[in-house]
Amino acid sequence: MVEGTEFPGLFIINRNPRVDARGSFERIFCEDELLKLGIKHRIFQVNISENTQRGTVRGMHLQAHGAADSKIISCIHGAVWDVVIDLRRNSPTFLKKFAMKIDEFSHQSIYVPKGFAHGYQTLADNSTLLYFHDAPHVSIAQRYLNPFDPKLEIKWPIEVTEMSDLDRYAPILSDLEESEFIE
């Protein structure tokens, strides 16, 4: 079952695992269900992000300049606080954030459309995320926003224990030209 959010095009996918004495079986992606919502999500690339330490922050990331991608994000081990920022200039939720906990037990994924920056903080050691992208990664189109930018108003739920220098020293919104990243 797919449910909408207040953000146009951003959806929560509630998966329905089948459980028996052997364990469980769960569908993570169903093109037909997304098509019913008008979402054409061709899987072009699948990525796994493994994070060893609780408190790790990754983000805020996006691709720009015609290389933007939509993604379906699932936490398949551990738990994360997942955050997206709407950077679509004509959206009613422009520069607003959506955040929620996803974990291996919630059986939820997030569908993030083009035009959003994405990041997360791990809430458990050894947290693993699975991404289904509808476009390839293009290095020259990669953009970073500082996850501590006061304008983004992201309140990370626990102490930050690890992050890359690329994220830590990423520019804040006021230091960027809007054309750099906003769709």
**Torsion sign (Cα): 137, 140, 146, 152:** negative
Residues 65, 77, 118, 131: which is the catalytic one? Answer: 131
- Phi, then psi, of 110 in degrees rounded to 5: -120, 130
The reply to whether the predicted model has a pTM over 0.95 is no
Tens digits of residue pLDDT in 22-41: 998 988 888 888 888 888 88
Give residue-wise pLDDT tens across range 137-178: 999 999 999 999 999 999 999 999 999 999 999 999 888 766
Catalytic choice (41, 61, 65, 169): 61
Domain positions in the chain: 2-180
Residue 80 CA to residue 140 CA, distance in Å, equals 28
Q: Name the nearest CA neighbour of 72 among 116, 105, 126.
A: 116
Going 160 to 116 to 81 to 107, the CA torsion angle's sign is negative
Which architecture does CATH list for 2-180? Sandwich (2.60)
Active site residue 61: yes
How is residue 34 written in tokens?
């997304």
